[in-house]
Amino acid sequence: MVYIKSKREIELIKEACRVTALTHKAIEEAIRPGISTMELDRIAEKTIRENGGIPAEKGYQSGFKGVPDFPASICASINDEVIHGIPSERVILKEGDIISIDLVALKDGYNGDAARTHFVGKVSDNAKRLVRVTKEAFYEGIKFARPGYRIGDISHAIGEFVMSKGYSVVREFQGHGIGRSMHEDPGIPNYGKAGRGIRLEPGMTLAIEPMVIEGKPNILELDDGWTIVTEDGSLSSHYENTILITEKEPEILTII
């Protein structure tokens, strides 16, 4: 069931999204060759808590038997890791890496969700293009994030744009509604047919998140039960914002 937010709920979600955006900024400023992903995790948790929030990903349950709760405050996915990379003291960023950071701040009962892919020092032109196209795909999608359009219109726009640039979209994972729960209806795939799915209405809050692979779309799950990697070892990029459907233009809540 899709949940239309009240004015009061929208203000609370905006505040959670503000904390999310501040945390991404703090992480971006810290990223450099030689830093561990666990240090980035500590920076994220400190920033979220100093702003009155809780790192919602920490302790998140996968829902699958035998898979431990997510142990960290951020997902830190490097190079061929698509999503859900687990931070570690032993994982040290190197010159030329790209790293996707996905984080959710929970504040006063509401969530803000965003993801960014960053460069570690100087990276290849191929990596730069992949990250740029992933971000551009988000903006292609939200051209249709207006009342009267359908979820499928957003999905179609993202998928067609990504494929027109010679890349693949991840099909097994998708964007989602967001509010009191990190993941709410509706699901928002990064591919599909236009004109399908529910019709968009003002008051919907959505996390739209293109996940783009440089090579083939096939993915694998590592033995930790969380980390998703590209099957062919090619680079992957992730860009996400929480948005609000308004009477006119969509409002991006996780950019300050």
**pLDDT confidence of residue 62:** 80
Which region holds residue 251: left if phi is over 0, alpha if psi is between -120 and 50, else beta? beta
Per-residue pLDDT of the chain (256 residues; tens, 9 = 90+): 899 999 999 999 999 999 999 999 999 999 999 999 999 999 999 999 999 999 999 999 887 778 899 999 999 999 999 999 999 999 999 999 999 999 999 999 999 999 999 999 999 999 999 999 999 999 999 999 999 999 999 999 999 999 999 999 999 999 999 999 999 999 999 999 999 999 999 999 999 999 999 999 999 999 999 999 999 999 999 999 999 999 999 999 999 8
Cα separation, 106 vs 102, whole angstroms: 14
Give the residue from 185, 167, 165 showing the smallest Cα distance to 176: 185
Structural domains in the chain plus CATH codes? 7-252 (3.90.230.10)
CB atoms inside a 10 Å sphere around CB 10 = 20
Give the residue from 38, 79, 80 showing the smallest Cα distance to 231: 80
Cα separation, 45 vs 218, whole angstroms: 32
Whether residue 44 contacts residue 61, with contact meaning beta carbons closer than 8 Å, is answered with no
Cα separation, 246 vs 177, whole angstroms: 15
Whether residue 65 contacts residue 225, with contact meaning beta carbons closer than 8 Å, is answered with no
The DSSP line for 62-73 is -SSTTPPPP-SS
Whether residue 194 contacts residue 152, with contact meaning beta carbons closer than 8 Å, is answered with yes
- HEC profile for 27-41? HHHHCCCCCEHHHHH
Sign of the four-CA dihedral 27, 13, 49, 183:
negative
Token pair for 249: 């233009």
Phi and psi at 130, nearest 5°, equal: -60, -45
In sequence order, the β-bridge partners of residue 232 are: none
End-to-end CA distance of the chain: 30
In sequence order, the β-bridge partners of residue 228 are: 83, 221
